[in-house]
Structures are given as structure tokens and as C-alpha cells.
Amino acid sequence: MKIVVKENYADMSKFAANIIADLVRSKPNCVLGFATGATPIGTYHELARMYKEEGLDFSKVISFNLDEYLGIGMNLKKTYDLDQSYRRFMYEELFSHINIKLENTHVPDGLAKDPDKFCLQYEAAIKSAGGIDLQVLGIGGDGHWAFNEPGASFKSRTHVERLTKKTLDDNYEAFYKKAGVSAEQMPHFALTMGIGTILEARSLLMLVNGTRKAEIIAKALEGPVNANVTASAIQLYKGDSTIVLDREAAAKLTYLG
């Protein structure tokens, strides 16, 4: 596990983007795992800049996103049923700014008629693509990975997860409130890759910024491995993992060498 501390959000975003870009250059048909939320936006915008200004080619890249709210979504024709879908987020923050083929992008289908069946199909699609080469990750305020809430099994696969009050409150303030969506309208369930699925990626790239994440990232990286902080599963990971933090997020880490 490699921990990299950058001075600020802009620097960490550029550093992370370069890791992704190096993989795309060395393996043009790589399989990337993407995350949503505020933290990776800077990284995605830097990748878009690299495409426009440096010719970084995503035309053969395949992607899989970690999660999506159950009951909302956006299809490949870019029509919405609710503005806060993660498919919309990925399209607006990254996919529409690079030359990735939309048919090669996979985001869990929040509108699936049979969510449990879809979860099995999502796992099969990842396997069919050859597995994920690099998975981008963040961390929730209570230490959750993707939408694997406290108590989720470390062996879990893609599944339907009931969201905790902490997650609902955090996401409402970050996304739904400013969109004019009431707390009652906000989805209370999500489709998410499981911890077991995430740990099968060939490499992990975890991005964390800001003072409010300092305590929880310290617990995840240096505390005991336990299901109440599902991101602590990164301590069990056998592959190449890089955690990129800004100085604020790294403030409570003890072991930085």
C-alpha cells in the first residue's frame, strides 16, 4: 500500500490522473473502474484535458462504475428520469469530454426491473471484460467503500444495499438539496459492487481530500480491519494500491514514513 500526500486538491487530482493516463497509454484496451462523488471530479477533468490537449486516447477503454442509486438512471441516449443519477454524473464530468465509446461504459442500471438479476449480470460483464485493471475509489464519511455500508461483508459481490442515515444525509446535502429534490424523493437503496468485487481489481487508486475525511481515512488505513469501516478492507488487498491524499486529509495519519 503506497500513500502519497500532495499539497492540495489540484495537485492530488493531477497526480491521480497521471496514474490513470499511464495505464491507458501502456494498455489502450484497459478496463477502468470509476467512482462518483466530489473527490474524483478534478481527476476526471484533468483526464479530459489530457485527451483534448495531449491526445490521450480512450477509444478502446472499457469502464465499470462502482454504484448507482436504485430507482433512478440515465440511458445511453442521454435521457434522464432524475437529475442525480450517477450515469448522468459520469457523462457530464467525463464521458462527454473524452473519446470513450458510450457502449463501452457500464454504470449499474438503477432502473433494472430485476435488480438482483442485474447484479449477477454486472458481475458477469466484469468477468467477460477480463476484470478491472484499475479501480478508482473514494471513502464515505462513515468509512464506506462504494455503497458498502458499515457491516457489509468483505466477501460481498455486486448487490442491492440499503443506505444508512449517515449516507443519506451526506448525499442529500452534497447532491439532492441543491438540485431541488426533497429528502423524501431521494433513493434509499443502491446497486453497488461488493467489497469482494473491488478487491479483485488488479490495482486500486483511492482518492481522499479535505479535513472532514481525515479521521475516517486514518481509521481505514491504520485502524483495525473491521466491517464497520468497510474501506479498511484495503489493508487486506494483495495487489498494487495507491492512496492519494491532500494534506488536510492526511492530517491524522501516524505512519507516513
User: Active-site positions?
Assistant: 67, 142, 144, 149
* Helix or strand (DSSP H, E) at 168: helix 165-171
CA dist., res. 196 & res. 146, Å (int): 12
Q: Are 145 and 151 in contact (CB under 8 A)?
A: no
Identity of the amino acid at 211: T
Phi, psi of 126 (to 5 degrees): -60, -45
Give the count of beta carbons closer than 10 Å to the beta carbon of residue 227: 17
Task: Tell me if residue 164 falls in helix, strand or coil.
Answer: coil
Q: Which helix (H) or strand (E) holds 192?
A: strand 189-192
Which set of grid coordinates corresponds to residue 224?
A: 483495525
DSSP 8-state assignment for residue 174: I
Q: Angle 173-179-180 (CA atoms, 0-180°, nearest 5)?
A: 95
Q: DSSP label at 2?
A: E
Query: Which residues 6+ apart lie within 8 Å of 197 measured at CB?
Result: 123, 126, 156, 157, 158
3-state secondary structure 10-60: HHHHHHHHHHHHHHHHHCCCCEEEECCCCCCHHHHHHHHHHHHHHCCCCCC
